Chain A
Amino acid sequence: MILEASDINKYFLEPEKQQVLNGVSLNAEVGDLISIYGESGSGKSTLLYILSTLDTKFQGTLNILDQPIKNLTPDELANFRNKYIGFVYQFHFLLHEFNVLQNIMLPALKLGIKNAEEIKEDAYVLLKEMGMQDFAKRRSYKLSGGQQQRVAIARSLINDPALIIADEPTGNLDQKNTMIIFDLLKEITATKNKTVVMATHNLSIQKKSHRVIEIIDGSVRL
């Protein structure tokens, strides 16, 4: 089991106490592509932040790769994220001070298992898989939205993580780029045995996912 979330409850305390997740449980196996959808404010992004270990202030149990997340210190959590979780967001979040290749390399440099040359080679391979090999030395802000999102996906894969968390990765793209990005994510689940948990409003994406979970007022409807 890659992901095991059980009875997750989450409250926002400001401006007044409000329950945003109500007993959410979710499991994901190797190779799963799970789409989470729901209205704005339904709690789907909050659930993703918890699943990605960025938000640890919740009630319930979360195990990733059989590791209870709540037992980890902040530093251990950071290392865990670095090694086992990849992120793709609606707004790609590439760093403008670095070129495309360097952006992809950053998580692997942090992990420190391979040397810089090996990491650079890995980054080139990923860029090639994304069809972006000609843009390696380019500053990230000089790319189109779809290109930047492909770089973000490459960056999420550089450490070969088991789990990819994607928060509306196509939300800012046109239909053509949306399908390119989704196809890439789906291919990752098939060829690289990654598990992808993705929030999306896009119905065509939902239809092509292995599993769809609807969040209504903080609760899951399967």
Chain B
Amino acid sequence: MAQSAFNKVNLFIAFQYLITRRKQSILATVGVILGVSIFIVMISFMTGVNGFLDDAVFNGSPDIIISKKSVKSATKGVFGLTIPALEEVDDIDKLLSQNDNVQSFSHQLVSPAILISDAQQLPVSINGIFPDEETAMVDLDHRLIHGSGFKGLQKKNSVLMGISLAERLQVTAGDELKMILPNGKNQQLIVAGIFSFGITTIDNIRTYVHIETLQQLLGEKPLITNIHIKLKDREDVSVKTPLEQSTNAINVEDWKDSNKTIVIGNKVRNVLTWTISFALLLVAGFGIYNILNSTVIQKRKDIAVLKTMGYRSKDIVFVFLVQSFIIGFTGSLFGAFFGYLISYGISRTPLETTDFLIASTYPVTFNPLFYFLGSSFGILTSLFAGYFPSQKASRVDPVTIIRGI
């Protein structure tokens, strides 16, 4: 029976070459370490950034928003503004209740308003909500900075607002301010809580009050302007179709429509990250290829001698493939370790925030899949890089080499 090339003798020869050619072996291994660690760091960091944006933008916002298409029912205000109220809310609710992909939905009354504090008066958009419904939609508790979340709105004269708006109004939890609506009616409110979604454009404008507070002031009940929907599978927005078919009077906008720039940005970042990361591993692979290739050229005489001794072509292939595997495996192991260390360091590095993003440190995702992918690709690249030199080695004709000496 033919002897397998995977045997102790061939392993011994491969190890001996690796050990005695220490400098080249270490150099090739360092190449893989760099490739794998940078791959892991880049993927972890870019995924962290994307996750942070997703969390801030998409999780802080509904997946689908239903609003009025054209103004039919409106409450005229003193400024001549109108409130576009949704009709057939019950029909829409029924349709949403029957859809399996709808996780939850909530009703809102959104109105322009002016908030007046002791220091400032600012135009805002007020979201009147049912606290229980909204709790199922938005995880506000882990975004709270001061005060209480939606449960704080059980008191009808309470308001929740984003951190940037609170800073501009110079108010904090417990402070009072006045809200003036388009119909001229006003209401004294107490700041029940201040939250941060991490994105200034949201934290600068978003305010919540109890929907009944707004409905009473606007004079119509029940007045609903928006229905917000959270989906189980965000990618599946097929519920839009029956909604749009049910009436011509509504706009149905999904998260992709609302955040086209961010969605495209995420895609571009993902493509760039994966492309650059894999390219780095390929570069490391070329390093291994060069080193093993030069070994084959330098060791043609040895290969010829081994063949005269009875070592078969597949033994020679194995000897060189084992070397590339050991380089790839060792490099991947250390690469994953250093990748984790660097990623951890980045995740603990304070981030100077801009006007757009609010975060205390750089966002980094720690996902075992990245380490598995980086290590696997590191080993595969190394094996691939070792394959061609090993094939070249196996084709060495001992007679030609011996004659050439």
Contacts and interface: CB of A to CB of B under 8 A. Distances in A.
A98 B16 contact: yes
Contact of A97 (B16, B308, B405): B16
Contacts of B310: 78-83, 107, 110-111
Contacts of A90: 405
Nearest to B9: A109
Interface string B1-39: 011000111001100110011000000000000000000
Contacts, number: 71
B151 interface: no
- Secondary structure dominating the interface of B: helix
Contacts of A91: 405
Interface residues of A, number: 30
A49 interface: yes
A97 B398 CA distance: 19
A173 to B, nearest CB: 15
A112 interface: yes
Contact residues on B (Cβ < 8 Å of other chain), bracket: 20 to 34
Interface of A: 45, 49, 52, 54-55, 74-75, 78-83, 87, 89-91, 93, 95-98, 102, 106-107, 109-112, 167
Given A87-B309, A109-B9, A110-B315, 19 more contacts: A49-B399, A54-B399, A75-B312, A79-B3, A81-B308, A81-B309, A82-B310, A83-B310, A93-B304, A93-B402, A95-B302, A97-B16, A97-B302, A98-B16, A106-B306, A110-B310, A110-B311, A112-B7, A167-B402
26 contacts: A54-B398, A54-B399, A54-B402, A55-B399, A74-B312, A79-B3, A79-B310, A79-B312, A80-B310, A81-B308, A81-B310, A82-B309, A82-B311, A90-B405, A93-B301, A95-B305, A95-B306, A96-B20, A96-B302, A97-B16, A97-B21, A102-B16, A106-B306, A109-B12, A110-B309, A167-B402
Interface of B: 2-3, 7-9, 12-13, 16-17, 20-21, 301-302, 304-315, 398-399, 402-403, 405
